[in-house]
Amino acid sequence: MSYVGPGFEPSPPRRPRRRPLTVALVALVPGALLGWVVYEVVGGAGSDGGAGAVGTTASASGPVSPRSSAASSAGSGDDKPGGTPKASPTPTASAPAVSGPLKGKVIVIDPGHNAGNFQHTAEINRKVNIGTNWKECDTTGTATNSGYKEAEFTLDVAHRMRTLLQAQGATVKLTQDGDRPFGPCVDERARIGNQAGADAVVSVHADGSGAGNRGFHVILPGSVNEGAADTRSIVGPSRALGERVAGNFVRATGSAPSNYIGGGTGLDTRTDLGGLNLSTVPKVFIECGNMRDSKDAALLTSGAWRQKAAQGISDGIVSFLRG
């Protein structure tokens, strides 16, 4: 339908002689367009590093696997779509062994008791020679009024200490790692530290005294020279270790020294413990708190506080070994 109005006249009819020219133009237009597209893709666009360059690079290098593609994109946070892919990062060698101020030092951590001792009372009641006399292989340890076992506490703190000390380059051994049904006996615990040639041994415990008795104390070996026990060579270095542990424990945890043992010093010397009597390397015990006191128990059952306890004991060991 055509509109006819003032000033508008129908177009005159086309003359037959123009039809061949029209057909020729119609035939030429698609060809010209196709040629322009080919030029832009193959020649023109490739000269300015745009999308055409990426296309030709990808086709020249062959198909890219999903893994190598992901590695390229992960190589930089500023890769942009359409940019030139970056090469995959060269694989790095395995991380070297941890080095630190305690490299070459051997530390033995003795998590007191064993959670399985409750099921093996006959075995742990067996008597062993502690040098000066005979005592039970081990005991069950104590627990909070809510049932949190001393053995659970000691192993948790030992694990935290191991992580801290290994980060400083030390070789760390545990006398038990929850990997045995009961024990070991007190004489074996001492033997583990001796055979390791430990530079320091700390036995981790929590006390089971009466309510109202609060605070920590470090137990030092007294001078013993009887039977299989001879602590004379380790009394001095063990005291130095114990003093460093006590001081750093206060700083890390904020806990006060025991109000019922040690006369406020946080230090107690004993000659009746097989783990100390049979040791030939510097060794101390630490009673981190009283599980039977509700206020101390609240600390001992807190993971955050146990981390502080592990830090304090570890700092004491580091201080001792570094002089």
Confidence band, pLDDT 50/70/90 cuts, at residue 311: very high
Annotated domain spans of the chain: 23-56, 106-322
Rounded Cα distance, 300 and 294, in Å: 10
Q: First and final CA of the chain: distance in angstroms? A: 107
Cβ 167 vs Cβ 95: under 8 Å: no
- Give the angle subtended at the CA of 293 by the CAs of 214 and 143, to the nearest 5°: 115
Our answer to whether residue 287 is catalytic in this structure is yes
Percent of the chain with pLDDT over 70: 70
Q: Dump pLDDT digits (tens) for 239-289.
A: 999 999 999 999 999 999 999 999 999 999 999 999 999 999 999 999 999
- Beta-strand pair 283-290/217-221: antiparallel
Q: Dump pLDDT digits (tens) for 92-127.
A: 333 445 789 999 999 999 999 999 999 999 999 999
Catalytic residue of the set 150, 152, 243, 287: 287
- When pLDDT is averaged across residues 18-24 and rounded to a whole number, the result is 42
Indicate the CATH number for domain 106-322: 3.40.630.40
pLDDT beyond 50 at 50: no
pLDDT beyond 90 at 25: no
Percent of the chain with pLDDT over 90: 69
Cβ 202 vs Cβ 189: under 8 Å: no
- Beta-strand pair 229-230/225-226: antiparallel
- When pLDDT is averaged across residues 78-105 and rounded to a whole number, the result is 52
CA dist 70 → 73, 91, 139 (Å)? 5, 14, 57
Predicted pLDDT at 46: 36
Rounded Cα distance, 193 and 200, in Å: 8
Break the chain down into helix, strand, coil percent, rounded to 5. Answer: 45, 15, 40
CA dist 127 → 17, 21, 111, 124, 175 (Å)? 127, 119, 20, 8, 19
- When pLDDT is averaged across residues 45-54 and rounded to a whole number, the result is 34
Mention every residue, 6+ apart, whose C-beta is less than 8 A from residue 314: 161, 164, 165
Predicted pLDDT at 296: 98
Rounded Cα distance, 274 and 135, in Å: 8
CA dist 1 → 4, 8, 9, 10, 176 (Å)? 10, 14, 13, 11, 100
Give the pTM: 0.71
Cα-to-chain-centroid distance, residue 140: 30
Q: Dump pLDDT digits (tens) for 155-166.
A: 999 999 999 999
Predicted pLDDT at 251: 98
pLDDT beyond 70 at 16: no
Higher pLDDT among residues 79 and 230, named by residue: 230
Strand segments (E) across 29-129:
106-111, 127-129
Cβ 251 vs Cβ 312: under 8 Å: yes
Predicted pLDDT at 19: 47
pLDDT beyond 80 at 57: no
Strand segments (E) across the chain:
106-111, 127-129, 134-136, 171-174, 200-207, 217-221, 225-226, 229-230, 267-270, 283-290
Cα-to-chain-centroid distance, residue 217: 28
